[in-house]
């Protein structure tokens, strides 16, 4: 009976990447010289887990590289090596290399062997110091002559009873030993209980092994390294060297192990770290994986999405969901009984039951949505390393402050907001924070501060990126915009409008182009990505004091707060986040331009009127503006007034993809099913404004 190890690949990769994040975070927090022992131990354990998992799944290149890192960390852990800046920098680079290797293995693409070899050589030099090739060869020959030759090794391997529960398999260990040389195994069954008392997940056997060949002790120790804490192990040099294979007497026992071990492996599938020792305990998290995204062993290349295919869900969220389903079942049972005998007396109970069903459904919806909610710390965790690297590269002293890390938002939103946040933080560091001498001359501390803060506000999540740098020079931005033809010198713009010009395509005030920023690529993409998420972004700045960039996003992309509007006999939904206000039309404030465009004067601003019945070719109740309503909306920095027949109320709607179920439609972002079973289209405000502009141009 063989086991398909590929079913555990997804879990291994997810936990390995989490381990790399733990290592990076720990390394960034290490104090040079007097490092905290527990922090070093945490980093070591993460490396140890990745190494062990890699070895188990046959990713030898990853395991070999991690072994060198682990050795260096082990010396720091036992106090024989001081923590230095050089060592921390090299280990951080090694974490990057390891992440690249795991990504390559996951996507079944080629590993950059040259880069890996370069970093591994630097690790070995740091470990052993500089030595010539001749010295290395001499040391190697001396080691072989001392540890191998014509002698053999005697190994006593006695697993602890829980070994199989950790996912480790003695048969795999024997297989690795067979690659080193000839071996003979004698199985000891003194601890084997009566058949009726056997626990299939416990290990009762132990083995005496004779291994022959030109083998170093370190090679043997490495085979047993992943189980060294889960067994009693003794390795001694033996005088004799017999060339014998596994005895016929042992073969039935090995065959029996092949049957027993896979059961143990399958049983351990829910262990948080595969193949790692775990004591019996209550699970504190649940991993929900998409089976379609699991890596399958194949000769063909497979594209792997950068988005994670699973969510770690705390048990309390799962319990709440289960309890809510229980309440729903009770309500359904009650309504079922009432349905059997509907009369005047049971009408009130039926109404109460329906009200309870509505409450249960709403709570169930909220609990289900909570499963997709993750703390924003998952998005913030990349920034300590990035700020450290950039501050060193630019010669600036920067302190990063992270606030509101436990604020939760939808997993999909978090994955899509990561890159925009990187752009904004890099700009704050490069453009905002001054050089230490300049800050000191301006009466500021030499160390600049960049702060990321996240919090809930209404139905949205707000993310603020604040720095205490030099701020944005309004005049410089305006002059650059005039130079690029974005605005006219005579335009009277507010500070908000001037700062919004920064998000124009190709706009940059950097005097020199660098690999940090200054190419004018990125800020327009940032705004577009945030708009696509249904959010908005704004900048507030004071020259010489600093800047604050505020991003507002919906908590989830699956549910939308919308305003229902009616145009003729059709119902549409306008996202509440896009609505500024609604008003009754006054004829005196309507203006026309050459008979083509209608403008409505809203206080001191003229906004174009978009007649939805013309855009969607519908028959409206009336085409006279004063007979209907104007819904003032904003999309991508532009305002417009939607002419509608009536407002019908607000409600949360579940978004269905129109592109997936039908095809893309200009001016429409999705659809939903209303309470009466009819389908309502969700308007894409930005697309709708552009569509209206295009129609006016064509008409002209």
C-alpha to C-alpha distance for 628 and 647, rounded to whole angstroms: 10
Instruction: Give the count of beta carbons closer than 10 Å to the beta carbon of residue 303.
Output: 7
Burial 590-603 (b: 16+ CB within 10 A, else e): beeeeeebbbbebe
C-alpha to C-alpha distance for 227 and 68, rounded to whole angstroms: 18
Are the C-beta atoms of 183 and 246 separated by less than 8 Å?
Answer: yes
Instruction: Give the count of beta carbons closer than 10 Å to the beta carbon of residue 636.
Output: 14
Measured in degrees and rounded to the nearest 5, phi and psi for residue 433 equal: -70, 130
C-alpha to C-alpha distance for 203 and 225, rounded to whole angstroms: 18
Question: Six-digit token pair at 59?
Answer: 């990713």
Measured in degrees and rounded to the nearest 5, phi and psi for residue 635 equal: -145, 125
Strand partners for 373: 410
Are the C-beta atoms of 73 and 40 separated by less than 8 Å?
Answer: yes
Q: Residue 112 to residues 57, 103, 104, 109: CA-CA distances in angstroms?
A: 20, 11, 9, 10
Active site residues: 48, 70, 427
Question: Six-digit token pair at 372?
Answer: 């997709």
Q: Residue 463 to residues 43, 99, 265, 552, 629: CA-CA distances in angstroms?
A: 30, 28, 43, 7, 34
C-alpha to C-alpha distance for 159 and 437, rounded to whole angstroms: 62
Question: Six-digit token pair at 179?
Answer: 């690659």
514 contact partners, CB below 8 Å, separation of at least 6 = 430
Burial 557-587 (b: 16+ CB within 10 A, else e): bbbbbbbbbbbeebbbbbbbbbbeebeebee
Burial 401-431 (b: 16+ CB within 10 A, else e): ebebeebbbbbebbbbbeebbbbbbbbbbbb
Question: Six-digit token pair at 606?
Answer: 């003229």
Edge to edge, what strands does the sheet with 536-542 contain? 398-403, 448-457, 460-467, 546-554, 536-542
**Among the residues of 447-602, which ranges form H helices?**
474-483, 495-500, 523-532
Q: What is the 3-state secondary structure (H, E, C) of 331-361?
A: HHHHHHHHHHCCCCCCHHHHHHHHHHHHHHH
C-alpha to C-alpha distance for 595 and 580, rounded to whole angstroms: 27
C-alpha to C-alpha distance for 24 and 384, rounded to whole angstroms: 9
C-alpha to C-alpha distance for 86 and 63, rounded to whole angstroms: 23
Helix (H, G, I), strand (E, B) or coil at 600: strand
**In the 8-state DSSP scheme, what is residue 432?**
I
């Amino acid at each position: 009976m063989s086991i398909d190890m590929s079913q555990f690949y997804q879990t291994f990769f997810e936990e390995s990447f989490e381990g790399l994040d733990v290592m990076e975070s720990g390394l960034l927090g290490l104090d040079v010289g007097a490092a905290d022992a527990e922090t070093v131990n945490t980093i070591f354990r993460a490396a140890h887990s990745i190494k062990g998992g890699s070895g188990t799944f046959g990713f030898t290149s990853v395991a070999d590289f991690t072994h060198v890192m682990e050795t260096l960390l082990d010396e720091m852990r036992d106090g024989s090596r001081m923590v230095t800046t050089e060592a921390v920098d090299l280990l951080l680079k090694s974490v990057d290399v390891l992440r690249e290797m795991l990504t390559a293995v996951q996507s079944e693409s080629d590993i950059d062997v040259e880069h890996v070899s370069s970093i591994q050589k630097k690790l070995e030099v740091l470990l052993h110091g500089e030595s010539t090739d001749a010295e290395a060869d001499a040391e190697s020959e001396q080691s072989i002559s001392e540890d191998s030759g014509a002698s053999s090794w005697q190994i006593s391997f006695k697993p602890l009873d829980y070994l199989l529960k950790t996912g480790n398999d003695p048969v795999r260990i024997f297989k690795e030993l067979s690659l080193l040389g000839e071996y003979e195994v004698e199985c000891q069954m003194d601890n084997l209980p009566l058949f009726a008392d056997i626990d299939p997940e416990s290990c009762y056997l132990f083995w005496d092994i004779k291994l022959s060949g030109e083998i170093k002790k370190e090679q043997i120790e490495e085979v047993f390294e992943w189980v060294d804490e889960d067994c009693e192990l003794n390795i001694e040099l033996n005088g004799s060297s017999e060339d014998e294979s596994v005895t016929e007497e042992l073969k039935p026992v090995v065959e029996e192990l092949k049957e027993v071990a896979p059961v143990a492996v399958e049983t351990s599938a829910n262990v948080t770290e595969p193949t790692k020792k775990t004591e019996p305990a209550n699970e504190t998290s649940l991993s929900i994986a998409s089976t379609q995204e699991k890596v399958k062993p194949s000769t063909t290349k497979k594209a792997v999405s950068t988005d994670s295919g699973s969510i770690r869900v705390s048990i309390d969220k799962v319990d709440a969901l289960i309890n809510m389903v229980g309440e729903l079942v009770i309500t359904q049972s009650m309504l079922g009984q009432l349905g059997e005998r509907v009369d005047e007396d049971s009408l009130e109970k039926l109404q109460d039951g329906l009200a309870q069903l509505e409450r249960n459904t709403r709570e169930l919806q909220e609990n289900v949505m909570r499963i997709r909610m993750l703390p924003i710390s998952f998005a913030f965790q990349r920034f300590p390393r990035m700020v450290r690297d950039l501050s060193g590269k630019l010669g600036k002293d920067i302190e990063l402050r992270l606030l509101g890390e436990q604020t939760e938002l939808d997993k999909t939103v978090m994955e899509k907001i990561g890159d925009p946040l990187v752009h904004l933080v890099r700009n704050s560091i490069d453009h905002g924070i001054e050089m230490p001498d300049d800050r000191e001359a301006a009466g500021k501390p030499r160390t600049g501060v960049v702060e990321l803060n996240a919090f809930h506000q209404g139905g949205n999540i707000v993310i603020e990126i604040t720095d205490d740098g030099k701020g944005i020079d309004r005049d410089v931005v305006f002059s650059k915009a005039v130079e690029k033809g974005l605005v006219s010198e005579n335009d009277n713009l507010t500070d908000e409008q001037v700062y919004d010009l920064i998000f124009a395509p190709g706009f940059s005030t950097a005097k020199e182009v660098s690999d940090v920023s200054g190419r004018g690529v990125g800020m327009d993409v940032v705004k577009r990505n945030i708009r696509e998420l249904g959010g908005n972004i704004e900048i507030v700045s004071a020259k010489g004091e600093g800047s604050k960039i505020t991003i507002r996003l919906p908590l989830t992309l699956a549910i939308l707060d919308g305003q229902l509007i009616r145009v003729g006999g059709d119902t549409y939904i306008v996202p509440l986040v896009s609505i500024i206000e609604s008003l009754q039309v006054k004829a005196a404030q309507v203006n026309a331009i050459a008979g083509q465009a209608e403008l409505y004067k809203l206080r001191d601003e003229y906004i174009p009127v978009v007649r939805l019945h013309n855009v969607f070719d519908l028959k409206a109740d009336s085409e006279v503006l004063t007979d209907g309503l104007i819904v003032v909306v904003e999309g991508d920095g532009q305002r417009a007034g939607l002419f509608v027949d009536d407002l019908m109320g607000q409600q949360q709607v579940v978004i269905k993809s129109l592109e997936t179920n039908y095809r893309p439609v200009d001016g429409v972002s999705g659809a939903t099913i209303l309470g009466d079973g009819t389908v309502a289209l969700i308007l894409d405000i930005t697309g709708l404004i552009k569509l209206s502009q295009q129609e006016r141009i064509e008409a002209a």
